[in-house]
């Protein structure tokens, strides 16, 4: 029986690959990859030829996983790679790795680049505890709910974002916790690598002034800084707005944006105040 190698590849600069990864790619019988053209360029750069490349991406993951397991059971060693970085981390791979374990196949990790860790290492933000959150959902409501959860933890967290949505995501962070410390990294390890550091509002301004900056792939790192507040101040605000005749839903939305507190928490406080009245 063969082995499944989970091989990290460069996230931009083709020189960012380990000697071991090159050795593994040279030795395996089959390489499973997201895009055979991208992997082909990497192999060509390192003079690796004659390899059987099979596609492995999100929409064919189930069928491709079964094929890979079958090949390994027949004695082939297979390397799993993504277009850039480490497979299974915001990239396909989870299904075939899980299936390999279920079939008692030896899974061998070959470590290397991971964009989130690369950006965090150069961010200057607290990294003793951090969350890796990957890509946020497209829907604004769900995105805001998740950001509120991440910010509430107080831990530094890492996001991936597309050029089209990077400004709107920073806008939501500014709305929830405007004093948070943020680092945005784009096109890591490439020629046009850039870092932006500051509050969300400052970075939005930089990206909006020079639209050419809004190209490439983005990593957003956030160290949450919630607005300082005393519970009684929040309660006073709620009581004042209730006296003005505002509805609970309207109050929750307004104070959530003002204090950076999740709406559900404000709803609970509104109910408590109403019950005590």
Per-residue pLDDT tens digits for 91-105:
899 999 999 999 999
pLDDT at position 265, please?
79
- Cα 73 to Cα 3, 6, 38, 68, 100, distances in angstroms: 9, 17, 27, 9, 10
Instruction: Give 5-64 as a 3 state SS string.
Output: EEECECCCCCCCCCHHHHHHHHHCCEEEECCHHHHHHHHHHCCCCCCEEEECCHHHHHHH
Say whether pLDDT at 72 is over 90: yes
pLDDT at position 217, please?
85
Distance CA 169, CA 226 (A): 17
Say whether pLDDT at 257 is over 80: no
pLDDT at position 89, please?
92
Strand partners, 184: 196, 220
Read off the pLDDT of residues 216-256 as tens digits, 9 standing for 90 and up: 789 999 999 876 654 557 788 888 888 888 888 888 888 87
- CB neighbours of residue 111 within 10 Å: 12
pTM attached to this predicted model: 0.78
Q: Which two tokens stand for residue 121?
A: 């290492």
pLDDT at position 106, please?
97
Would you say 112 and 7 are in contact if contact means Cβ atoms under 8 Å apart? yes
Cβ partners under 8 Å of residue 33, min gap 6: 39, 53, 54, 55, 56, 80, 81, 82, 83
pLDDT at position 228, please?
60
């Amino acid at each position: 029986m063969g082995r499944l190698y989970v091989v990290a590849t460069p996230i931009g600069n083709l020189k960012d690959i380990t000697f071991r990864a090159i050795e593994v790619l040279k030795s395996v019988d089959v390489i499973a990859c997201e895009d055979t053209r991208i992997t082909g360029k990497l192999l060509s750069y390192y003079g690796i030829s004659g390899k059987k490349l099979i596609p492995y991406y999100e929409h064919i993951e189930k069928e491709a996983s079964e094929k890979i397991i079958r090949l390994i059971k027949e004695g082939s060693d297979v390397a799993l790679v993504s277009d850039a970085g480490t497979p299974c981390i915001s990239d396909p791979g989870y299904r075939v790795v899980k299936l390999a374990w279920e079939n008692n196949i030896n899974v061998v990790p070959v470590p290397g680049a991971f964009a989130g860790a690369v950006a965090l290492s150069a961010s200057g933000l607290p990294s003793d505890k951090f969350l890796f959150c990957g890509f946020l959902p497209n829907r604004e409501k769900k995105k805001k709910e998740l950001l509120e959860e991440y910010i509430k933890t107080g831990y530094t967290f890492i996001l991936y974002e597309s050029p089209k949505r990077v400004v709107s995501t920073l806008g939501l962070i500014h709305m929830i916790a405007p004093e948070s410390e943020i680092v945005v990294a784009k096109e890591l390890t490439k020629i046009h690598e850039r870092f932006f550091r500051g509050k969300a509002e400052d970075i939005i301004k930089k990206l909006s002034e020079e639209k050419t900056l809004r190209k490439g792939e983005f990593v957003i790192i956030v160290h949450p800084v919630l607005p300082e507040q005393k519970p009684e101040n929040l309660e006073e605000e709620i009581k004042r707005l209730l006296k003005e005749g505002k509805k609970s839903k309207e109050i929750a939305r307004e104070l959530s944006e003002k204090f950076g507190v999740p709406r559900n928490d404000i709803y609970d406080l509104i109910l408590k105040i109403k019950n005590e009245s």
